[in-house]
Each structure stands twice: as C-alpha cells, then as structure tokens.
Amino acid sequence: MDSFEIRKKFLDFFSERGHTIVPSSSLIPDDPSVLLTTAGMQQFKKYFTGELDAMKDFGSQKIVSIQKCFRTSDIEEVGDKTHLTFFEMLGNFSFDDYFKKEAIKYAWELITEILNISTERITVSIFKGDKQTPHDGESYKIWHEIGLPENKIITGNRTDNFWGPTGDEGPCGPTTEIYIDNIEVWNLVFNEYYKEKSGKFAKVDNPGVDTGMGLERLAAILQGADDVFETDIFHPLTSKINDLTPGLDQRIIRILADHLRACIFLAGNEVLPSNKESGYILRRLLRRILAYKIKYDIHADIFPESIKVIKDKFGKIYPELKETEKILKILEDERLKFQETVGRGIKEIDKYSAITGKEAFYLYETFGLPFELIMELSPAKIIKNLKKEDFDKEFEKHQKISRAGAEKKFGGHGLTLDTGELKAGSEKEVKKAIQLHTATHLLHWALREVLGKEVQQMGSDINPERTRFDFSFDRKMTPEEIKKVEDLVNQKIKENLPVYSKEIPKEEAEKTGALHFFKQKYPDIVRVYFIGSEASGGIISSEFCAGPHVNYTSQIRGVKILKEESVGAGIRRIRAKIE
C-alpha cells in the first residue's frame, strides 16, 4: 500500500463517518506558542476552546486532516530509522461531538479492518494518573471491551500519556497511544481539560478529541519496510542521493534526506533563512547539509536535484512545491552565502588539538558553525573537554561585553551614543536618534500589521538623519502598502502612547511574545520596551531592547518613509526620517 493509498484510505474512512476534510495549514502557524506547526490540532485550537464554531466554519463538528508538521525536538535523533524533523500527520478531530468510545472504536476499526493489521501486533497505553489529573479508567474499559487483554493495555505517566497544552495554557488531556509491533503510531488525545496560566487543570464542558498518526511510520509498517527511509515516501530521494554520491554511510543518507525534504517544505511555506525563530531552524538544517556536502565530497547539485524529486513525489498534494524556482533560489542564496565560510570553518577545526567552549564559540562566531555541528564534525579526541555549558558561558560573556560597551558609550560620554544600532554625537543628534529609535519599533509593528506576522526584523541602523530597517519579506511592497504603514505609524504618534520599559526574567518576557532574536543569548533578566498601555487601548509593541526611547510617541512628531528596496533574497530595507 503506497503512501497515496494510505492517505486516501484515512480520509475516506473518516469522511464516510461524517468528518469534513480540511486541508493542511501552513508550516508557519497562526499560533504564537510555537515557531512551526508541530501538530494537526494547531489550526483547530480555537474550536477546542469554543472561541470558534466548527459547525459554522466546516459544516460539521468532526474533522479529518493530513497536516504538514515540523518538530525540532527530534533533530539530534535524525539519522536513525524512525526520527524525522518534517513529517505528515494523519488526524481526526471532534469538537464537543464524539468522545473516547467512538474515537477508540474508529481507530481500532481503521487499523484492523481497513489497514488489515492483525490484532496480535497491537498494544496500547493509557494514562495512569497523578496528583494533577486522575487515571483514565474510561479508556481502559473501552479497550478492554473491544477485546484487548490486560497485558496489552499498559499504563504510562504524564510524559508519555498526557498531551498539551502547546504553550503555557490551553486545551489538553490524557492520551491513549496505539503501538504496532512496539512502534508508536497513533496518539489519541482526549481534551477534557484546560490548563490555566496558574497551572490549574480545569475540566471543560465541551471535551474534544485530537488524534495524530505519523504517516511515515505507518507506511513503514504497512510496506514491511525496515525504516521510514525505505518507504515509497523517501525512496526516490534516498536513491537519488545514493546515485549522486555512491558509498555514503546510511546515517548520512538519512540525515540528508530528512533535512533536504524539510528545507524544501520550509522554503515552500515561505520560511526564509535568518538568525531567529523558524528562519534559524531552516538555516541550521541548511548549514548541516552544506557541511556534509564538503565533508563527504558531495559535488553534485543536490538542491535542484532534490527539489525535483520532492516536487514529483509531493507536488500533487502540496501545490506550493511546484514553485521550484522560488524554492531553489532560497536554498541557493544560502548556499552561496555560507558554503565558503562553513568550508573554512571545517578546515579551521583541523588546526586544533583540543576544542573547549572558548574555541567553539570562536568557530561559531567567525564561521557560523552551530555548536552541534562542531561536535559532529570534530574528531572525538579533540572535543573530549567540550561542554555545552562552557560554550553558553562564552556566549554570555560576549553578550555582557557588548552590552557594557554600549552603556559606557552612552552613559560615560554624555552626549555620544553608540549602541551598535544607534549612533549620535551631540545632544541634538542624540535626541533625533532616540526619536528614530522609537519610530523604528512603531515601523516594525506597522509592517507586521500590514504585511503579516511573518515579517521579522533582520537588522537596523539608526543615525540622526534616518533609520534604516531591514526585514524579511519576499517581494516589493506596493505604494499602497507603504502608505498604509506610514499612516499607521503616524496615527500611533498622534495617539501619544506611553513608551516604557521593564526588566523581567527572560522566560517570562519570552512568554509575553515580546519580539526578540531567536537563538540570540540573552541574560536571565532582560529589558523589554512597550508602546501603549491597557489604559491607552492596549500594548501594541513589545520588544527585547536596551533603549533608549522617547517617553511618549508624540515626541517623535511625524515619520516619512523615504525608500523601500531589496537588499538580498527575501530581505527588504526601509529608510525613514522624522518630519
């Protein structure tokens, strides 16, 4: 049974039982609690909480989908037979419709009757309960009634048999997992709780079902394949890699196949390589591919070749993959940018007889080699004493030095300001640069309002004359969009919103969704600048930032956008001045 047939059988089964088929949402989620879509339920979160009405939007309270997912938690595991970063998740969902009994029966019927897996191969697990939420005896009873003997129903703890919430609050509940030949394939989540911010689990009166089954693992089982890379899903790509570079180790082929497929899907879903958030995830995967390309002498053009294979295999289901030129450009731009530097970094490693945190940080800073890649590319004997915490310490030390530099220049010399981002030399200039600094935060906010939340800051440079702001966006802005951004900024200046900062523990600050550079190391206590307050109609902007800023937006007077231009693939630059 090939993967197309499996997808079809799954969708047909649930659609025949009253489920509406909903297409996969993008890998970029509409949910700030995660960087990338990690589960099928993400696009339906608001139906579980009751904020949205599924009957109104889908004509049914029962949904079936096949969702593109990406999980960073397994990156280090990739290379074995089962772990992947990108995968497809088959799922059925009920929003206050059916619950445990039907969900378990559907799963059983699909697996044993439609997919013809013999019952002896099946084991399940259920939640054993703890101080926070009780044992899921109901699921136990249902499995027992279906005919599973006691020794085939095992109990698991919270880590294994309780799902969610994604983020610090939201729907969640006990799970029952289905194993075939001891491989976990299907996770049935019973959302009967809402975890509140306080940590309390409140029972909900609209319980729902959220299930997820990894397509690749299921295909491996149904195709009698020894691992997911031998299924029809991966075979065209692994054999292409093997043809291009015969003799590569299996583990390297698997990592390349997983990462190449993931990068192509990420780029197809408009993720651009950058130093933060999902952009950094893409960059990290790409750098690993590029490092392998050098280390294992892979001379072929693996990007265009893989894009073609992936398009042929998945283009019918995911039309974004047909934009092969766009995807290729994103990957190739990154290759041109990093191949040489990463290559020099790899050569640099050879010069060391020992690498500790200090050298590793130097390699990271100078050649862009992420810590994990240094660990992987270096001979074991020279990294004996390399510890992640030492690397992190170096990172922090470096941050402190640059922050201290900024403070000294500002505080110490009175009238000069040089934070790296802001530069000014006289009192008058300092005042203007500060106005432009706050204007830059407003501009960042307005761009995300007008162009979408995928806009991310890529850099900024402020002098008394103008602010120059770089951001990720893949096309030219229209004159209307530019005008809209400018108008929004000026409107907020007129509204005279308060601008203020707070020092808060980093973790708390991250939870508020304050904008910051993902993966940049921040100290444990960070300063966050806010624009707007509850009293003024809500906070519109919050960013990790050392300042300085004006106290009220009206102190900026007005802002004019001078120019919008491209500064490389997927990066736009805006210049603006105070009027």
List of residues contacting ligand SER (CB under 6 A): 39-41, 91, 163, 187, 189, 210-212
The HSE-up count of residue 100 (CA atoms within 13 Å, CB side) is 19
Nearer to ligand SER, 94 or 245 (CB): 94
Joined together, the tokens standing for residue 95 give 């929003």
Judged by CB, which is closer to ligand SER: 143, or 364? 143
Q: Say if residues 229 and 81 touch (Cβ distance below 8 Å).
A: yes
Computed from CA positions of residues 63, 68, 73, 79, in that sequence, does the dihedral angle turn out positive or negative?
positive
Torsion of CA 233, 176, 511, 51, to 10 degrees: 100
Residue 175 phi/psi, 5-degree rounding, is -125, 155
> Would you say 37 or 440 has its CB closer to ligand SER?
37
Pairwise CA distance, residues 558 & 552, whole Å: 13
Q: Are strands 170-180 and 122-127 parallel, antiparallel or unpaired?
A: antiparallel
Minimum distance from residue 157 beta carbon to ligand SER (Å): 16
Which of residues 178 and 282 has its CB atom nearest to ligand SER in the complex?
Answer: 178
Q: How far is the CB of 52 from ligand SER (least distance, A)?
A: 18
Q: Supply the minimum distance, in Å, between the C-beta of residue 178 and ligand SER.
A: 12
Nearer to ligand SER, 189 or 233 (CB): 189
Q: Smaller CB distance to ligand SER: residue 139 or 211?
A: 211
Three-class secondary structure of residue 92 per DSSP: strand
Alpha-carbon gap, residue 125 to 202, rounded angstroms: 24
CB of 147 to ligand SER, least distance (A): 24
Between residues 187 and 306, which has the closer beta carbon with respect to ligand SER? Answer: 187
State how far the Cα of 227 lies from the Cα of 220, in Å rounded to an integer: 6
Minimum distance from CB of 318 to ligand SER (Å)?
A: 19
> Cβ 208 to ligand SER, closest distance in Å?
11
Rg (CA), the chain: 26
Q: In terms of CB distance, is 107 or 446 closer to ligand SER?
A: 107
Both tokens of 371, joined, read 């810590």
Which residue's CB comes closest to ligand SER? 212
Give the nearest distance from C-beta 207 to ligand SER in angstroms.
Answer: 15
DSSP of 153-193: EEEE-HHHHEE--SSSSEEEEEEEEEEETTEEEEEEEEEEE
Angle (CA) 399 404 405, round 5°: 100
**CA atoms of 490 and 439, how far apart (whole Å):** 9
What is the smallest separation between the CB atom of 482 and ligand SER, expressed in angstroms?
41
CA distance 349 to 461: 34
Closest approach of ligand SER to the CB of residue 211, in Å = 5
Q: Is the Cβ of residue 167 or residue 548 nearer to ligand SER in the bound state? A: 167
Q: Two tokens at 65? A: 């989908």
